[in-house]
Structure 1
């Protein structure tokens, strides 16, 4: 009987070590962008079994809001703790989470004449991380989410390139110009020293509501949508209008309005639901 004690102790220690595994976050990674002519930072979350396995993983691109950078979801969103907990509880599949910086030099996820961030995202960042890390490159295993400005980026990227994402989860999103705001295009054109036609084209390309009217419905339906905005959020109107538009076009989507405002308390509670939602596609819902 005594001979069994070392074996039992080893098994208990091994079991504890496996259960106590945690993911890792690297929050100051760099890549050089020819498009943006600068060195760009990003953070990445690697799941608990990344170093001990040889498998490839699905990926979630997680976008920050205005005023934050690539460390926002790490520092304030508690992405490490929340994702580890969701994976351990079996509510989320192990995944890689990429968090880019869109707030250094200039701010924003959209293309302008001197800030082609959307081109950088798709032509440089995505190929770089999906080659460097063991990421599965098919649509089914790629998702995108983000808050506020990053929620707007989520809408735009998934609507501009629906062939790339299985799921999109905009949180408290800035959805772009609303129909009632179109009278302001002339003022924007004057302030930006652009023609009204140029500004109208720009806002049409960066308005979720306009894109829902111009993109083939079947393309939009190819993405699983999870839209979440608090009942006290100043961006509630735009998110509500997107929901109504999707309802009218019979585009399947999840729409959540919870008690809360435009803050990290709300978004930390959103993240577990996002992880659960995107995992359903990764696992073949």
Structure 2
């Protein structure tokens, strides 16, 4: 009996060893991707011996310029990888500036994530591989550093106005659970096609807040990241609709429904969390569509927010024939009323090549004509997450002072 058990054990060990050998052999050449070098150049590799052409596209490449409607815009660039004798395709960049980069491989015309990089992220209906190069003060805010960490929760709430149970992402600062203190709140809104996961994942909001608070540069605060698509319960794949394909083409995005329902969010937060419930301790900000929402929520509720941030705001992009025309009517008169209430901060940020810069400049021209005080930041680049992370990093230290 013992002899039979020993033989069985040896057979199992042999089978396991053979399986490991087969697995190792099946992997082919042992390469890494992305491979970050000491000078911050990066080599991307792909094992694809049968492929005819492999390319890479990503925001680490200089954008190419495209003409549309008489205007020049930035567009993603593409470069070729080169195959070696082992069937490994490679491309090495110039030294890159510290930044959080996203990219894709393109294999014989098919866009894919990097199979050798386990870190990827969804933006609407696209998946991107992710690469973070630190090393300067700004991008180190995007890292998980050895500081006290806040808590990120996915929280469901009732929205009677929308007629749905909906989900929020809520960041509570380190110590919230035990401090007994009341905190100010930043309501942070995403762009079109995004959802309540956008700012915590693509925007690195939790890391930015953790690091700024730990450095004493930002006040401890709650950050409430909403889903601005009022027809949705929550982000795609995490609702009663099942694994529905994400899309930008959603109903009720910029026709007044979200702005009308927004007080439901504030009421829920102030009922559920230990927060300060006055204008001086509430802020609202958002990117693109979220900047559009932030503008109209604040000017239609001039006693609600003491701080307003517009990040590449989609000014004047409301849907025609919307169901709530009063939300968008008399915009300038409402802006005047907001400023008559003396907001502590009205902040505008946009990229030099953003397709919305003219709309933002028109808004600024009106503010200037009325001598309304605001803070303005213009950055390089266009309508991109790289800029929106900068804007959040610059905006939050100015709050609740």
TM-score by length of 1: 0.77
Spell out, residue by residue over 1:150-206, the C-alpha distance to the aligned partner (whole angstroms, 9 max, x if none): 00001101111111111100100011159xxxxxx9xx55xx8xxxxx9xx82x742
Residues 239 and 135 (structure 1 numbering): CA distance in 2 closer, same or farther, change over 3 Å? same
Q: Give the aligned partner of residue 17 of structure 2.
A: none
Q: Please, which runs of 5 or more residues in structure 1 have no aligned partner?
A: 1-18, 179-184, 193-197
Equivalent position of 1:233 in the other structure: 354
Higher normalized helix content (fraction of residues): 1
**Is contact 2:310-2:347 (8 Å) kept?**
yes
Q: Cα RMSD between the aligned structures?
A: 2.2
Aligned partner of 1:169 in structure 2 is 309
Q: Does 1:132 align with 2:272?
A: yes
Residue 22 of structure 1 is matched in structure 2 by 149
Say if 1:216 and 1:176 are closer, same or farther in 2 by CA, change over 3 A: closer
Q: Cα offset for 1:273?
A: 0.8
Runs ≥4 residues deviating over 3 A: 104-107
Aligned counterparts of 2:179 and 2:255: Cα–Cα separation in 1: 36
Relative CO higher for 1 or 2, CA cutoff 8 Å, sep ≥ 6? 1
Determine the structure 2 residue equivalent to 1:58: 184
Contact 1:226 1:277 in 2 (8 A): no
Task: Give the stretch that moved more between structures: 216-225 or 39-48.
Answer: 216-225
C-alpha separation between the residues in 2 aligned to 1:264 and 1:170? 14
Measure how far apart 1:49 and its partner are.
1.7
Picking from 137, 146, 157, the partner of 1:31 is: 157
CA distance change for structure 1 residues 246 and 37 in 2, over 3 Å: closer, same or farther? Answer: same
2:339 maps to 220
2:328 aligned partner: 206
Please state how far the C-alpha of 1:244 moved relative to its aligned partner: 1.0
Matched, 1:76 2:202: yes
CA contact (8 A) 2:147 2:211 kept: no
Name the CA distance, whole Å, in 2 between partners of 1:248 and 1:164.
25
Instruction: Find the counterpart in structure 1 of residue 262 from structure 2.
Output: 121
Choose which of 42, 45, 49 in structure 1 pairs with 2:168.
Answer: 42
Cα distance in structure 2, aligned partners of 1:142 and 1:38 = 25
Contact 1:176 1:206 in 2 (8 A): no
Note if contact 1:66-1:107 (Cα within 8 Å) is conserved in structure 2.
no
1:108 and 2:253 aligned: yes
User: 1:48, CA displacement in angstroms?
Assistant: 0.7
Distance 2:200 2:338 in 1: 32
1:146–1:169 CA contact under 8 A, matched in 2: yes
Equivalent residue, structure 1, for 2:217: 91
TM-score, with structure 2 as normaliser: 0.55
Distance apart, 1:110 and its partner CA:
4.7
**In 2, distance between residues paired with 1:45 and 1:134?**
13
- Hey, what's the Cα distance between the residues in 2 that align with 1:150 and 1:110? 13
Alignment gaps of 5+ in structure 2: 1-145, 233-250
Distance 1:65 1:177, change over 3 A: closer
1:274, distance to aligned residue in structure 2 (A): 1.1
> By how many angstroms is 1:243 displaced?
0.8
Asked whether the equivalents of residues 173 and 239 of structure 1 are also in contact (C-alpha less than 8 Å), the reply is yes
